[in-house]
Copies of this chain bind each other. A is one copy, B any other.
Amino acid sequence: MTTRNAEKEEKRRLQILQAAYDVIAQKGYNSFTIEDIANKAGLSKGGVLHYFKTKEDILVYLLEQMYRVIEETIKKRSQKYRSAEKKLKAILIAFIVTAKGQPALYTVLVDFWAQIPVNPRVQNIHAKIYRIICDEVRTTIDSGIRDGEFQPVDSQNVAYAVVGMIMNAAIQWTFHRELYNIDHVTKMSMSMVMAYLKKRGTSA
């Protein structure tokens, strides 16, 4: 019985979160209202607030879930491969696949970034998950180094640089697709990373 209810409740929450995501994607972080979410979710304002105490609550849970999507896509795709190079490429591709499959995701993510300096809860979640994502890249590089596939590099900082590169590529492309061909830029990014990781004489 309780399980039944908990299940149903969870379903409702996800439904609301999805509606929030859709609405923010459509109207932007600043101008959407709880009523928008309610309408999209097929509930009343009160109904939405029944599941999430405040608007901020909705947002915080949504952010967490969005990062999970990225995280999971990365893990799922990189797990398929054995070699560090293939794993790393799979990770980079994962970002782009997400951007293509969920056109609004990076849009909404940037909406959240803009809240970081003024909202500690958002800041915490972002910090936590950004670190997780970078660690995933770093671990892959480390395993490549261990296996002799990659040069011994400062894997931590390389990871930050790599994630930054590919994430911003995805973001800018989301913002104005006519700017560039994302597949080309992705290939280029991979080449650059690999040139560094596999090359003989390090320059830094």
Provide the A193-204 mask, 1 if CB < 8 A to any CB of B, else 0: 111101100111
**Does chain B have a CB within 8 A of A148?**
no
Q: Known contacts A114-B30, A114-B114, A157-B180: does B204 contact A191 (CB below 8 Å)?
A: yes
Query: Which of A35-43, A45-53, A65-73, A158-166 is the interface stretch?
Result: A158-166
Copies assembled: 4
Interface residues on chain A, number (Cβ under 8 Å):
60
Q: How many angstroms between the C-alpha atoms of A138 and B48 in the bound complex?
A: 49
Instruction: List residues 148-204 of chain A with CB under 8 A from any CB of chain B.
Output: 153-154, 156-158, 160-169, 171-172, 175-176, 179-181, 184-185, 187-196, 198-199, 202-204
Q: List B contacts of A101 (CB < 8 A).
A: none
**Does chain B have a CB within 8 A of A140?**
no
Cβ of B126 and Cβ of A175 under 8 Å apart?
yes
Q: Known contacts A130-B172, A131-B179, A175-B123: does B165 contact A161 (CB below 8 Å)?
A: yes
Binding site for B on A (CB under 8 A): 25, 27-31, 107, 110-111, 113-119, 123, 126-127, 130-131, 153-154, 156-158, 160-169, 171-172, 175-176, 179-181, 184-185, 187-196, 198-199, 202-204
